[in-house]
Chains A and B, each alone.
Chain A
């Protein structure tokens, strides 16, 4: 490909550049980059968003000084954790360590970021250390608003009533409760008002729970979904799967039909809306979410509890040089086409943020962003489906491309083709998972 001068310049100014910065870069505005002259970037939160950001910063410019602050030495993935609850997947497969990032030269600190001084550009850690930064990438994920369901508490979540909506010990606790159920009993899932992380998550969980019942001689068990919302992600695909694989086993109660759970009585195992009581043998309350606490404390969230960002760079609209990626952001204005809170979205947002940060360090315009999301759900063995989203920049805004993306076909011309489609996507789901884990952590 040959460039004329105009195209060449255009390419440079619209693209992410890869230059060794060690020798020549003063961070933006000529601020002190430390004695070595390197730009210092602190990443808070080592999930899909933060790990991807840390890795790609080093991959695209090995000279950057990148520190990742993460509480846990082992990451546990939410994607595919529903399959662990049902026994179709292994807990070990959800795990990743941070050795891969360390090998890439990321300084990984197992610590808790407790406060951000946005004006002074530093992060305070629980251990007492303070990290100065030129750029901060915040990827704190979500925290729960336990007050959203009166009577449900963090203490209950950690003991008798796991929400299991952050994968980890609670995933295994819920699995154990499921395995302890007798035939004919009821598993209640309460779904919080949107937005919540992994929009199809509660419905995939219902499917996986039903799958466990079906394959363990507990076919008279029921799953009841008490939903604060009136519709849900991939609804047609899930309802088709339920009818086909679990007829009569899964009941969904919409918000408008009194499905919004507002209180919980742990003694009687009853979740209640203003109109209905849902008594279960296992009651899985998923509490409402908001942006991770540190993002809230830093003043990055709007009045609904989500961080607003420049849609094209992921830079916070509240504080300069802070980039927020992943589940804690609200990305896109339209309620229907706003970016979903998924691992893939966090991964793609992290890459955009990295491109924008490196461009800023080099004093050039941020590259044109491109966001892609693929989100698979497995409803039953060999029965997977997905939703795809493509977002592009147009006139400074994030636009969901309605000509692309969308959900897997619900009906197809031929039964054999439908079966093939579901089989392929159930397998692609696992392949996607292995690759995205490697893309973030290896």
Chain B
């Protein structure tokens, strides 16, 4: 059975198909419904996930699964996946290209956002496209609405957000600057 199957596979060219990622691809297909095909979201409150750093994605998913990190919805999802599956999904989405969705904002907002983004810059890079390390997400062309909501999480004392530095910096931002910073990064192509 196996050998005949292998011959059939070879005849169909399976072995030489580089793009197919195995069962992870079957799993990943279900992510598209909320995060877009290839992890490029078209819904402003939902993040694009394709091309984010592997370590960042993996951290996040495992922390949600174990309730170490607050999530509104994703924790309930990830309890249905094994750790191995989540790691594989992190690898899968990290390999995709990061496709920034560049969003327009008025000059005043952009200037306000840039000025207030000082403390973000150290880790995420000046325009969000070149984060400092593998555990830090890209922000350039990420959805402004999503980033704004994410900041609300960091700024809510009772929400369990394990990244101490991020929590501290998020709380130091003026309320009026949060949206401007989100819009500033959302407007950056790289």
Contacts and interface: CB of A to CB of B under 8 A. Distances in A.
B12 A18 contact: no
A12 B3 CA distance: 13
Contacts of A438: 36-37, 42-43
Nearest to A440: B33
B11 A24 contact: yes
A428 interface: yes
Interface in B68-87: 70, 72-73, 76-81
A403 to B, nearest CB: 5
B165 to A, nearest CB: 21
A421 interface: yes
Interface stretch (A39-47, A138-146, A343-351): A343-351
Contacts of B157: 414, 416
Nearest to A420: B156
A406 B76 contact: yes
Interface stretch (B22-30, B124-132, B177-185): B22-30
A19 interface: yes
B121 to A, nearest CB: 26
B146 interface: yes
Interface in B13-31: 13-14, 17, 19-20, 22-23, 25-27, 29-30
Contacts of B33: 344, 347-348, 372, 374, 432, 435-436, 439
A439 B43 CA distance: 11
Interface of A: 9, 11-19, 24-25, 56, 59, 344, 347-348, 351, 355, 362-364, 367-368, 370-372, 374, 386, 388, 390, 392, 401, 403-406, 408, 412-414, 416-417, 420-421, 423-425, 427-428, 430-436, 438-439, 442
A425 B76 CA distance: 13
Contact of A416 (B9, B143, B156): B156
Nearest to A14: B23
Contacts of A386: 72-73
A404 B146 CA distance: 24
A416 B23 contact: no
4 smallest CB-CB distances across A and B, nearest first, come from A390-B80, A404-B80, A431-B43, A431-B45
A345 to B, nearest CB: 10
Interface size class of B (residues with CB under 8 A): 35 or more
Given A404-B78, A408-B72, A421-B72, A428 B158 contact: no
Contacts of B76: 388, 404-406
A435 B36 contact: yes
B142 interface: no
Contact of A417 (B19, B37, B158): B158
Given A368-B23, A423-B152, A432-B34, A390 B72 contact: no
Given A372-B80, A386-B72, A424-B153, 13 more contacts: A12-B9, A19-B14, A390-B80, A403-B79, A404-B80, A405-B77, A405-B80, A417-B156, A420-B156, A424-B152, A432-B33, A438-B42, A439-B32
A374 B152 CA distance: 22
A428 B36 contact: no
A367 B24 CA distance: 11
B102 to A, nearest CB: 17
B73 A428 contact: yes
B5 interface: yes
A363 B5 CA distance: 9
Contact of A367 (B2, B11, B26, B143): B26
Nearest to A433: B43
Nearest to B155: A420
B67 to A, nearest CB: 12
Contacts of B19: 18
Contacts of A348: 30, 33
A430 B11 contact: no
B6 interface: yes
28 contacts: A12-B14, A14-B23, A15-B20, A17-B12, A17-B14, A18-B19, A19-B14, A368-B26, A371-B30, A372-B33, A388-B73, A404-B77, A404-B79, A405-B79, A414-B157, A420-B159, A421-B72, A427-B145, A428-B46, A430-B44, A430-B45, A432-B34, A433-B43, A434-B43, A435-B35, A436-B34, A439-B32, A439-B36
Contacts of A403: 79-80
A156 to B, nearest CB: 36
B8 A363 contact: yes
A404 B158 CA distance: 23
A374 B35 CA distance: 13
A354 to B, nearest CB: 9
Contacts of A420: 72, 152-153, 156, 159
B23 A15 contact: yes
Contact of B42 (A25, A367, A434): A434
Contact of B46 (A18, A363, A413, A435): A435
A356 B37 CA distance: 20
B41 interface: yes
A16 B34 contact: no
Contacts of A405: 76-77, 79-80
